[in-house]
Amino acid sequence: SIQITTISTTYEKAQEKNKKDVDNLKLELTKLGIPESRITTSSYSPPIIQNEPPSSVDYIEGGVPGGEMMPIYKRPDTSPTVTTNLTLTLDPIKNIEKVYDVVSKNTSALITNTYYSLKNRKTWESKAKEEALKDARDQVESIAKINRLRVRKLLTIEDSNNPRPYPITLDAMEGQEATKEETATNNVYYSEQTVKITSSYTATYELY
């Protein structure tokens, strides 16, 4: 998610400037080859215009005949702010570094949230299951060999709610696409990350 916040002297100017900032950011993103359909507005927060006077009251002397105290209302000393949140979908994420560069150059924009999913997830889940079962069999055969026994058949197998994704900081692996982003106060940067699919089984074999 990308947040574009605009502050101006009036509500109208804040709205106008915010729209301009959003349009400019969208234009820069489309120049990277990102389709407009992948850049959507998730939320928009217009300035709140107060029709009623604030609860705080200041008094001045001599406001009415006779020099009595007269209350006057003062408008809160705040600048009108408009915020637009954009959702950007990248597939693949090869332009992620350029996207961060574009956002970092826009003084009104900030990346507030990121979400990443693993491509070809089902394929990797199946592979994780196969590897886990093979590893279980190999370990049993190793133990049986040490004890001069043989593995006969599989009696029971327990699936421990798997496979499941587990993020770890490593170099990118073939077939996996995931990136972890971090934001700094004035600079935006990201670090590569993979999503490791883990699978765990408890298997019981008959030995003889």
Q: What is the rounded CA–CA span in Å between residue 159 and residue 74? A: 67
pTM, to two decimals: 0.51
Q: What angle do CA 117, 2, 104 make, to 5 degrees?
A: 110
What are the pLDDT digits (tens) for 80-102? 888 999 998 887 777 788 888 88
> How far is 58 from 56, CA to CA, in rounded Å?
7
- The domains of the chain are located at 2-48+58-111, 121-207
Indicate the Cα dihedral angle 110, 115, 118, 119, nearest 10°.
-60
What average pLDDT does this structure show over 155-178?
A: 53
Residue 120 has pLDDT above 50, yes or no: yes
Tens digit of each residue's pLDDT (9 = 90 or more) over 102-114: 888 888 898 887 7
Residue by residue, what is the 3-state secondary structure of 105-147? HCCCEEECCCCCCCCCHHHHHHHHHHHHHHHHHHHHHHHHHHC
Q: Which region, left, alpha or beta, applies to residue 187 given φ > 0 means left and ψ of -120 to 50 means alpha?
A: beta
- Domain 2-48+58-111 in CATH 3.30.70? The answer is yes
SS3 content of the chain, % helix, strand, coil (to 5): 30, 35, 35
